[in-house]
Amino acid sequence: MMSAWVIGIGAFVCVLGGAVAGLLLRNTLPDHHLTGDSRDAVKMGSGLIATLCALVLSLLVSSAKNSFDEMGAAISQGSAKLIMLDRTMVRYGPETEPIRQMLRSLVAEQIKICWPEQAAEIDKLAFETPPAAEAVMVEMLGLTPQNDWQRMFQSEAVQLCREILQVRWLTIERAQLSLPPVFYLILLSWLVILFGSIGLCAPSNKTVLTVLIVCAISVGGAVFLIEEMNRPLSGLVKVSGDPLLRAVEHIGR
């Protein structure tokens, strides 16, 4: 899977290449190909493509932002359920103390994997080797309740474990989503045609070239931002791990 940087820089290069090709083609075409009527036809065609590109890019940015927000909400929701699970185990009794420490170690390890920049805060605390994510639920099922209260808290804790595991796997699946390469190929072809048309109608001077470069950077940045937000647990733009960090501070205490 290509990184967002590669996709963004690739979009910039393709778009700028289309603009430069248009400028070079302008110098080789006979004068009658650049008359008023010809320019009007080119502008109409480029206007249509510009509308399509603007619509697609705006929809992609909106969709990527929604996915990014959903991931952040899922992490916050999962963190709250982790704290609820810990409180439920406290109410069950002291028998759950080793399980609570397992849960704490597991969450801390996940923070170090997904948010390595916060690893220093985690390393300040002592943790055992983290178990598998399902181990906490297995340990809870292995307890033997002595009364109705403990049976109720055991059932509640197991249900919370199931919900946390579901959120975890949904988060993993969402983090691996990416737009199909064919989609980017079609979008970039539209952008190359659009900037080629602009270069074809524009005079060859430093001002025009500077404007085209700035526009190409903007388009590449938009594509980069879309791809980054579609991968919310990696890269430069990522969801915050603070909710899980706060959960670690509460679990096992």
Looking at residue 120, its pLDDT comes to 56
pLDDT in tens, 132-159: 667 888 888 888 888 999 999 999 988 9
Tell whether pTM > 0.85. no
Residue 123 has pLDDT above 70, yes or no: no
Looking at residues 54-82, what average pLDDT do you find?
88
Residue 85 has pLDDT above 70, yes or no: yes
Q: How confident is residue 203, by pLDDT bands cut at 50, 70 and 90?
A: confident
Out of 62-66, 173-177, 249-253, the most confident range is 62-66
Q: Domain range spanning residue 214? A: 4-250
Q: Count of domains in the chain? A: 1
Q: How does DSSP assign 227-243, residue by residue?
A: HHHTSTTSSSS----HH
Looking at residue 130, its pLDDT comes to 46
Residue carrying the six token digits 């307890």: 143
**More confident: 171 or 226:** 226
Residue carrying the six token digits 């065609």: 45
